[in-house]
Structures are given as structure tokens and as C-alpha cells.
A and B are shown apart, each in its own frame.
Chain A
Amino acid sequence: EAQVTQNPRYLITVTGKKLTVTCSQNMNHEYMSWYRQDPGLGLRQIYYSMNVEVTDKGDVPEGYKVSRKEKRNFPLILESPSPNQTSLYFCASSNLAGRSTDTQYFGPGTRLTVL
């Protein structure tokens, strides 16, 4: 089954404790992206990747890092989490950027709470 998976689905942590949220897709998509969803703000893009070893900042990259060592994986890293990073995080993937028929497939979401 074609899908995007994220782990963990729920995470409660404390300020400053490094964490990684994994994202994996099995559709051989080139494009992958991370969003955070906050009430009243919708989804905002954190980082995206056009292909292996090609990553770039989205609209709200501060406090986050990503890597794309393999095509299928796109982990989101919070080196020193802070309470303002408490949010619902979504990973998404799609085929080559720019084709109007591309559909972005979203993962199930990771609810992160930073105390």
C-alpha cells in the first residue's frame, strides 16, 4: 500500500532534549516536506527536499533540521526543543515538483508536546 509513515505518533518531551521524528514513503517520490499545524494558522512548511541531499528552508525553519540521505526517508530533527514547538507535525511527499497533476500524500501526523 502506497503510504507515508511517521514515528512516533505522539511524543511528550522536555525542553532541550534532542529528538527526531522519522518520515518514510514507499512511493519513490522525489519531493518531501514537513509542515506544522497550529490552530488558526493552518499548515506551515518547515523544510522541504527536492531529492537526495537537496534540502531547503520553508516558511518556519527556525529550531529545526532535516536530512535526506535516502530517497524514502526525511527525518525532522529538533536539536533543542522548546515549548513553542509544541504542535502537530505532518510529513508529505509527492512526485517531481512542478507537475500540476502531482498530489501530495500526507503522513498521519505526530503530536509533539514540549514541556
Chain B
Amino acid sequence: AQRVTQPEKLLSVFKGAPVELKCNYSYSGSPELFWYVQYSRQRLQLLLRHISRESIKGFTADLNKGETSFHLKKPFAQEEDSAMYYCALREYGNKLVFGAGTILRVKS
């Protein structure tokens, strides 16, 4: 079965510090990976997807097939980045398999 692992339940950093949210996956085919974010009291929303190779709100994520990882990074954390972050893998069709999520807390 395809799996997405986010090893950290909580990541706490100071404002201005670099952030790396880890995501590892297992998938037998060519993976499509996403990061979703859920701010307090808001709905889940797409942050970025590996296929677009984009930077959103200063976040980037590179797919490393050798390490089967898709870590989310930001060089300088901001307080408004505090949220729950989910890594997800697209399985067949449109089905998304989610990791358990990582809470990011950015302290001032």
C-alpha cells in the first residue's frame, strides 16, 4: 500500500529561523506529491505540488526520488506560517493519501 510518513507531529521554531517539514513516501509508480496547509479555523488548501516546481509563500519542496522524500522548506519562518501541514500523494484517479500531518508553530 502507498504510504506517506510525516515523522514530526510538532515542529516549533523561532521567527526568522529556517523550517523543514519532512515527508517520506512509498509508491510503486511515478509519484505525484502535494503539500496542503490548514490554518487555524480554516479549510484545507493546496500549498504546492511537486509537478509545478513553484514557490508559494516562500515555501519550496523538491521531490527526491532516490530518498523518496518531499520535504517542505522555507528559509525564514514567519508567525503567519503557523498551521497544520499535510503531505499527500496522489494514488489512482484523484485519490489522495495523506500523511498524519505536522503542526508548525512559529514563535516570536
Q: B96: which of A41, A45, A108 is its contact (CB, 8 Å)?
A: A45
Tell me if B's interface is mostly helix, strand, loop or mixed.
loop
Q: Is A94 an interface residue (CB 8 A)?
A: yes
- We find that the number of chain B residues with CB closer than 8 angstroms to chain A is 21
- Do A44 and B95 touch across chains, with their CB atoms under 8 A apart? no
Q: Residue-by-residue, is B8-49 near A (CB-CB < 8 Å gives 1, otherwise 0)?
A: 010000000000000000000000100000000011111000
- Do A98 and B93 touch across chains, with their CB atoms under 8 A apart? yes
- Do B94 and A102 touch across chains, with their CB atoms under 8 A apart? yes
- Do A58 and B43 touch across chains, with their CB atoms under 8 A apart? no
List B contacts of A42 (CB < 8 A): 4, 6, 86, 98-101
Q: Is A74 an interface residue (CB 8 A)?
A: no
Whether A40 touches B100, Cβ cut-off 8 Å, given contacts A90-B44, A100-B32, A106-B43, is: yes
Q: Is B56 an interface residue (CB 8 A)?
A: no
List B contacts of A101 (CB < 8 A): 51
Q: For A31, A35, A43, A92, which residue has the most chain B Cβ atoms within 10 angstroms?
A: A43
Q: Is A33 an interface residue (CB 8 A)?
A: yes
Between A and B, 21 residue pairs with Cβ closer than 8 Å are A4-B43, A33-B94, A35-B98, A40-B9, A42-B86, A42-B98, A42-B99, A42-B100, A42-B101, A43-B98, A44-B98, A90-B44, A100-B51, A101-B51, A102-B94, A104-B96, A106-B43, A107-B43, A108-B42, A108-B43, A109-B43
